[in-house]
Chain A
């Protein structure tokens, strides 16, 4: 008999009924659900024992202590210590080695060759320079020693020789756009001292600091000097500065407001902060003579370093078109020179080498971009923050190994100059230990011990296992308000978000909410 379609249907019906009595359909449904939970789009976190390691956050000079929870060698979460939580950038530090804009490859041999060739071509009036965007580190000493050893070597620093700001000695702070309450200085200290000073924020936009300040002066963009000058006029009873009427017109503020601010500053213990240090601001600070600007001793350094180191040269002291080879350490940056300011100083056909971990910076303008390690891969010390009245020594301890292609900027520069930089951090720690001053705070047991009572090896161990050194506080001699430096822009949140390195989670602050606006 021929098989018909009806036969097929009957067979299939039996088959379907039978299948329903087997585990197969249920298994397949469960399996597809389970598979979809684990398909390649879903990452799986690492498994394993969690160990705690300590380091310091190297993203800004606050250098907050970090307690890292690690699975094996991989940090899976970063936390601050009690009372000193990490900021949005610090919390995502462990993402940075994988950030999307990472420079991964470079040509160190080509760069070294090019710099040596430039050195041999160097004219009598030309120089080779290192631009250090985070001065005050032990690495900065290495750069200075290297430039001291090279003929025509110059060490340039952003914001060199800053005096410190003692917040506890300030009753009034007039800030021209400085984000005092938004990541400036050491945020934990700023907040602790907040109740003791009145903050007047003079800024064209309503920044977070302007929103939180005691008073906001919405002055016109670019009229900082006019306001500073107008205040000086009132304080000197007309001897200097511009009349307050003119200041009011140029800044867009009511004259009465300017007078009131001047009167408040005159009451004493006032300090003026500005993002761009101009003469007008410096003069105002000099006049106010507040106790808040103090000189800070640097952490001790080995004597033979100080003898061979090149001096710190101010950027504007460099003649135009005189730099034959420029090496920029952008691996960590606390300040920012606009590129055109830099370009002006370069000789025609100058060689520029940039050490960076992020492509969004000077890399676009450099002949050679060499990949640098990024926090938490780096081994470096963190200079004291601007509001730290005593010197500090704390180490960013590497939590993760940097990729093999990474170039160490200090080693590169030191090799060029024939200077031995191998154990610079250890030598620095030894020099500090020999000075015997200050105290060592250890995080694992929250103990504070005078340095005198600690030997060199133990000191080195504490620095690596979670601890820092702080110089002794002493009567601070008043510091000079810093002389003007051209167009050095202190890092703000917006700048950090623009230049990176950045974890993608920080987008929650601007792209996924209206909390911050990305410029």
Chain B
């Protein structure tokens, strides 16, 4: 079985900033809400949509939305190289950078190392209103406080797809069975997912196209998330080191 490299292309020109991807991800992965009064730095948003603009005033003002999630870096993953617990690993069979909260000891070194700020810490134990824990997704384990978590490309759905294939006696999954929650929830199809090694897949074809770029490419992290936009100013803002302002 040929190794896969699961990746995404995100079309910034199509993103409407609705936030359905953010909520779909939280529902699928049992991400807890933070207590009232906590700020956005304590929040856990495996995928987070940032509003950006070209800095001009009306009538020249233009805006866009950029969803940022774990960029699923290539071999030289900053987080993997600093983790003292080997709680994160690049899976050679799928290319997914898998975070194991059960091994994590909570030093947060990986959070410092990640240039995309795509890793989140559980400052509190998950706290749901009474009864709401019955509505949790059984395919993903809830995490305790003190561990770091991040996007795993919806591995709960990966398991379900593999299981379904195994029941049919097949090793290879049906690509239609494995669709991450954010991809499924996007109303405009701005996020597309697939195997970058599969030349037939949409992501493989569009990843290298003219208007595509990756975040902080100069760092050499070799991320598997490719962004696209026909607007030059979007590329300029996305590449700018002053991304901190966009973080809020």
Contacts and interface: CB of A to CB of B under 8 A. Distances in A.
7 contacts: A43-B126, A44-B133, A45-B140, A46-B138, A211-B64, A512-B42, A514-B51
Interface in B1-57: 16-20, 22-24, 26-28, 30-31, 33-34, 38-40, 42-45, 48-51, 53
Given A43-B126, A505-B27, A507-B34, A514 B135 contact: no
A206 B23 CA distance: 23
B187 A191 contact: yes
Interface string B114-146: 000000000001111111111111101011110
A208 B129 contact: no
Interface in B40-81: 40, 42-45, 48-51, 53, 58-59, 61, 63-65
A184 to B, nearest CB: 12
A47 B126 contact: no
Given A211-B51, A504-B129, A505-B23, A513 B138 contact: no
B172 interface: no
B142 A505 contact: no
B184 interface: yes
B165 to A, nearest CB: 17
A167 to B, nearest CB: 15
Contacts of A506: 23
A42 B128 CA distance: 10
A94 interface: yes
Among B33, B58, B140, B186, find the residue whose CB has the most chain A CB atoms closer than 10 A.
B33
Contact of B129 (A88, A98, A515): A98
Contacts of B18: 87-88, 182-183, 208
Given A86-B20, A98-B130, A36 B144 contact: yes
A86 B185 CA distance: 6
B131 A41 contact: no
Contact of B248 (A42, A503, A514): A514
A95 B26 CA distance: 12
A508 B33 contact: yes
A503 B133 CA distance: 12
A91 B133 CA distance: 16
Contact of B187 (A71, A188, A514): A188
A74 B27 contact: no
Contacts of A95: 132, 135
B200 interface: no
A45 B156 CA distance: 13
Residues of B contacting A: mostly? loop
Interface residues of A, number: 57
Contacts of A44: 133, 142
A43 B129 contact: no
A181 B16 contact: yes
B199 interface: no
Interface of A: 36-37, 39, 41-48, 50, 71, 74-79, 85-88, 91-92, 94-95, 97-100, 181-183, 187-188, 191, 206, 208, 211-212, 216, 218, 257, 503-509, 511-516
Nearest to A403: B131
Given A76-B135, A88-B20, A97-B131, 17 more contacts: A45-B138, A77-B28, A87-B20, A91-B24, A98-B130, A100-B129, A187-B187, A212-B17, A504-B132, A507-B33, A507-B34, A509-B22, A511-B39, A511-B43, A514-B50, A514-B51, A515-B19
Among A71, A88, A506, find the residue whose CB has the most chain B CB atoms closer than 10 A.
A88
B177 interface: no
Interface residues of B, number: 59
A43 B186 contact: no
A42 B142 contact: yes
A183 B16 CA distance: 11
A98 B131 contact: yes
Nearest to B48: A513
Contacts of B42: 512
B34 A511 contact: yes
A109 B184 CA distance: 47
A88 to B, nearest CB: 4
Nearest to A212: B16
A218 B61 CA distance: 11
A88 B138 contact: no
B102 interface: yes
Among A76, A188, A513, find the residue whose CB has the most chain B CB atoms closer than 10 A.
A513
Contacts of A47: 138
Given A42-B125, A79-B184, A98-B129, A91 B138 contact: no
